[in-house]
């Protein structure tokens, strides 16, 4: 893929130009750094990773699958206009690629697929960990972006990652100048973000460390809401009180950390204890997903540690168990 030099002074004009043609979303600081639609570059904040990942723009928190009135069904029509996401970190780019494996393989989710097809992803490479809990360099992340902006002194080195990215450069050629400078392999990793000793935790399942840290868990589900890769959901029907023949079937986010998530008929619960639920989430992130899709679900953003109410550092917990087992 070709590489380009992009002058830092041109970022604001570029953002303004793109925003005139697309719906442009970028990290903006409000009460926290969040992705919002912007019309110029002045509001963009690249100083830290966003509090919430961009998954909500593709896998909606709540989504009406269909409405019903008696025996008549109405399917909602999604009208997703072309949009660009600027400033997406490598961890979140990989997270979206991992969600693609879930929602775009047969049988695919047409709502998710439509949102993906309408989106161009411009990455922003972290030269240093934006959080002390980042461990993305431990997770073998790949190039999943349409364009990647890598900060240099006074400019960005921009690398094409897809035909979509190539077309965007073609549409805004004045901002990009071809260069022979190329990204090295070390440029694709963030130094100091390699704190997880191993992703192979199969042998640690019966270690006592799980129960010790699970005692601090509140089962609040914050870790799964903030996680860029978690995709658990539940489906339920809602009817109108004024007319019980009218209502809708809805899909909404859920969490494996909630006891009722694994409750089935007969009031049986597969994961009754907090320890079982806590361990299950980590094993799904590092083991179970990889067994099915040949890639680790977790991308090492560290949000689940940074914003855990009781600050459960499961990376440190695994490193301790690995050290004691060796």
pLDDT tens for 79-107 read: 899 999 999 999 999 999 999 999 998 78
254, 263 contact by CB (below 8 A): no
59-64 mean pLDDT:
93
Give the model confidence (pLDDT) of 179-236 as tens digits: 999 888 888 999 999 999 999 999 999 998 898 888 899 999 999 999 999 999 999 9
Burial 158-177 (b: 16+ CB within 10 A, else e): bbbbbebbeebbeeeeebbe
pLDDT band for 247, please (50, 70, 90 cuts): very high
Q: Pairing mode, if any, of strands 263-264 and 268-269?
A: antiparallel
Cβ neighbourhood burial of 74 (10 Å; 0-12, 13-18, 19+): exposed
Look at 272 and 4; give whichever has higher pLDDT. Answer: 4
Q: What integer pLDDT is reported at residue 75 of this predicted model? A: 86
Which residues, at least 6 apart from 50, have a Cβ–Cβ distance to it below 8 Å? 27, 32, 33, 34, 35, 89, 92
Distance CA 56, CA 300 (A): 18
Distance CA 95, CA 101 (A): 10
Q: Is the pLDDT of residue 326 over 80?
A: no
Which one, of 100, 104, 137, 115, lies nearest residue 57 by Cα?
Answer: 115
Which one, of 287, 285, 288, lies nearest residue 300 by Cα?
Answer: 285
Which one, of 89, 285, 96, lies nearest residue 193 by Cα?
Answer: 89
Look at 325 and 129; give whichever has higher pLDDT. Answer: 129
């Amino acid at each position: 893929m070709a590489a380009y030099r992009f002058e830092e002074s041109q970022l604001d004009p570029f953002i303004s130009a793109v925003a005139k043609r697309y719906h442009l979303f970028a990290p903006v600081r409000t009460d926290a750094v969040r992705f919002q639609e912007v019309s110029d570059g002045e509001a963009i904040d690249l100083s830290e990773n966003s509090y919430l990942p961009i998954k909500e723009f593709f896998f909606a928190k709540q989504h009406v699958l269909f409405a019903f009135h008696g025996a008549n069904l109405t399917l909602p029509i999604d009208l997703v206009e072309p949009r660009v996401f600027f400033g997406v970190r490598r961890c979140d780019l990989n997270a979206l690629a991992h969600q693609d494996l879930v929602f775009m393989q047969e049988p695919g989710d047409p709502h998710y697929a439509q949102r993906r097809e309408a989106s161009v992803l411009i990455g922003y490479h972290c030269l240093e960990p934006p959080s002390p809990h980042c461990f993305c360099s431990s997770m073998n992340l790949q190039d999943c972006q349409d364009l990647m902006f890598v900060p240099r002194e006074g400019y960005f080195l921009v690398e094409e990652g897809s035909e979509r990215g190539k077309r965007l450069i073609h549409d805004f050629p004045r901002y990009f100048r071809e260069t022979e400078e190329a990204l090295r392999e070390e440029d694709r990793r963030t130094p100091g973000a390699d704190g997880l000793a191993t992703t192979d935790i199969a042998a640690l399942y019966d270690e006592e460390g799980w129960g010790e840290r699970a005692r601090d868990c509140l089962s609040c589900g914050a870790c799964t809401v903030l996680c860029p890769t978690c995709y658990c959901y539940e489906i339920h029907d809602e009817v109108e009180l004024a007319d019980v023949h009218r209502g809708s079937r809805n899909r909404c986010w859920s969490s494996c950390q909630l006891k009722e998530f694994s409750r089935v008929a007969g009031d049986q619960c597969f994961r009754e204890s907090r320890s079982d639920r806590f361990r299950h989430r980590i094993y799904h992130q590092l083991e179970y997903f990889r067994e099915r899709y040949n890639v680790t679900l977790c991308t090492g953003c560290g949000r689940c540690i940074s914003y855990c109410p009781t600050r459960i550092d499961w990376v440190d917990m695994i490193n301790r168990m690995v050290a004691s087992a060796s």
